[in-house]
A and B are shown apart, each in its own frame.
Chain A
Amino acid sequence: MASPSPSERRLQKELSSLMKDPPPGVSVDANAVYQHLNLWNVHMKGADGTLYQGEDFQLQFRFSSKYPFDSPEVTFVGDNIPIHPHVYSNGHICLSILTDDWSPALSVQSVCLSIISMLSSCKEKASTLSIEKH
């Protein structure tokens, strides 16, 4: 098969779609992504009217060559990790669509939307990940 690989082709499509039609408060540094298509830095603003209003976050997406069949690895990075029951202090996010419920039909965009909704529905900032399964 000719280059680019299916996984690269898919990422390029997702990148242009995300730049054209980003979820509210989300932006991606396209120049950096063009250099490393398998590593994206996504900026995310805490939504207005939520506990995270006024905060800025950085998400890192890492894609394997098996993307979209393997889920992307998504973590919060940088000096502001959201304080949330499902976010570890090292930035790791506990979200079922990033593991068991990942589907190749999901996308960077849908992952961003899920994370925004996870943050927005939080009623109380808790600093440690609760151990109970959800």
Chain B
Amino acid sequence: MEDKKETQTNIPTEFNPDLNQDELIMQRHREIEKEIWESTSLVCEKEELSSLEAEYITDEVYQGKVKDLLRKYRYIRRTRPDGNCFYRAFAYAYFESLLNHQREYESFREIIMKNKSSLMTSGFSAVTLEDFHETFMEVVDVLSKGTSAQDELFKLFNDQGYSNYVVVYLRLITSSQLQLKAEFYQNFIEGDRTVAEFCHQEVEPMYKASDHIHIIALSSALGVGIRVRYMDRGQSTEAIAHDFPEGSHVHVHLLYRPGHYDILYPIDTN
């Protein structure tokens, strides 16, 4: 592990063979990435899905997929591409839907309270777990106000203090679920890492991006069905859908473009 903190304050003005040049380039790359992130709100306002068409004017493969999406979805809500986007997009989309479904909100609240005890046995420090749980519940409790809390929810998700606490708590739920069913998930982990190591390196830290394995774990821990529409270079003219867990009732629709998740709103519900 190179010493990043040190090189940050010590950017050399001339070539210094002791410093790793690749590391400096990576560093600059990360700074640029960070500037891009910070220009996007954590959660943006809803916009017409047709706004995607303009992004892919010169690209036939993507254009075909946008057309396909437009037959099924009406709006898109973008999220900040900071590696936390899966958790943030999922939480916002699901919480927003709970505003309209109070009975489901009640049962979600129960699931969260029950789930807390399995988090307690997953080896997280009780102090930090309690801290994240409290703030997470503050946001969850806002949902009991129903549709009148729409603006409040939007504000909370754009306030780092709350929004990132929600992300962390979902990361902990994901990690705990992976470790609880380690025998099953071990098959999907590449390399020599154990499930616990994978969780410490790829799930629990902020800004680490999510893959199928994270989505399966979170959706099954919470019993919330997630449909991800994949918009990639694949030759299909359709933006292929994957439901997590397979065969579940879908609550949340997300759009995946390489490295990033945004929220989709189906035509029939909005």
Which residues of A are in contact with B by a Cβ distance under 8 Å? 1, 5-6, 9-10, 13-14, 17, 68-69, 73, 88, 92, 94-97, 99-107, 109-110, 133-134
A104 near B132 with CB under 8 A, answer: yes
| Inter-chain contacts of B160 with A (CB < 8 A) | 69
Determine whether the beta carbon of A94 is less than 8 Å from that of B127: no
Number of B residues whose C-beta is below 8 Å from A? Answer: 28
Q: Give the distance in Å from the alpha carbon of A54 to the alpha carbon of B85 in the complex.
A: 48
**Partner of A103 from B3, B126, B204 at Cβ < 8 Å:** B204
Pair A6/B2 contact, Cβ less than 8 Å:
no
Q: Is the CB of B131 within 8 A of A133?
A: no
Nearest residue, chain A, Cβ from B172: A105
Closest B residue to A109 by CB, please name it.
B125
Question: Contacts A13-B127, A102-B205 given: A92-B3 contact, CB under 8 Å?
Answer: yes
Query: Among residues 1 to 40 in chain B, which have CB atoms less than 8 Å away from a CB atom of chain A?
Result: 1-6
Given contacts A103-B204, A103-B206, A110-B125, 4 further A-B contacts (CB under 8 A): A14-B127, A94-B1, A94-B3, A100-B201
Contact between chains at B168 and A104 (CB < 8 Å): yes
Measured between beta carbons, the chain B residues less than 8 angstroms from A104 are 128, 132, 164, 168, 206
Determine if B204 and A99 form an interchain contact, defined as CB atoms under 8 angstroms apart.
Answer: no
Partner of A101, one of B129, B131, B161, B200: B200
A18 to B93, CA, bound (A): 38
**Contact assessment for A96 and B1 in the assembled complex, using a CB-CB cutoff below 8 Å:** yes
Contact, CB under 8 Å: A133 / B128: no
Cβ of A14: which chain B residues have Cβ within 8 Å of it? 127-128
Q: Contacting B131 at CB < 8 Å: which of A10, A69, A134? A: A10
- Contact check: which of B4, B124, B171, B200 meets A99 at CB < 8 Å? B4
Known: A6-B135, A101-B201, A105-B132. A1 touches B161 (CB 8 A): yes
Residues of B within 8 A of A1 (CB): 161
Which one of B1, B127, B161, B204 contacts A133 once the chains associate, using CB atoms below 8 Å?
A: B1
Which residues from B are CB-within-8-Å of A97?
200
Closest-CB distance, B85 to chain A (whole angstroms)? 16
A-B contact pairs, 19 of them (CB 8 A): A1-B161, A6-B135, A6-B165, A10-B128, A13-B131, A14-B128, A68-B128, A92-B5, A95-B1, A97-B200, A99-B4, A100-B1, A101-B200, A103-B171, A104-B128, A105-B172, A105-B204, A106-B128, A107-B128
User: What is the minimal beta-carbon distance from A17 to any residue of chain B, in angstroms?
Assistant: 4
Q: Given the complex of chains A and B, what is the CA–CA distance between A104 and B128 in angstroms?
A: 8
Closest B-chain residue to A16, C-beta based? Answer: B127
User: Which chain A residues border B2 with CB–CB below 8 Å?
Assistant: 133
Residues of A within 8 A of B165 (CB): 6
Q: Across the interface, do A107 and B206 meet the contact criterion of CB distance under 8 Å?
A: no
When distances are taken between beta carbons in the complex, the residues of chain B under 8 Å from A92 are 3, 5-6
Q: Residues of A contacting B205 with CB < 8 Å?
A: 100-103
| Min C-beta distance of A11 to chain B, whole Å | 10
Q: Which B residues are CB-close (under 8 A) to A5?
A: 161
Report yes or no: B128 in contact with A105, Cβ–Cβ below 8 A: yes
Identity of the chain A residue whose Cβ is nearest the Cβ of B203 in the assembled complex: A103
When distances are taken between beta carbons in the complex, the residues of chain B under 8 Å from A73 are: 5
Q: Which residues of B contact A134 (CB under 8 A)?
A: 1
Residue of B nearest to A133 (CB): B1
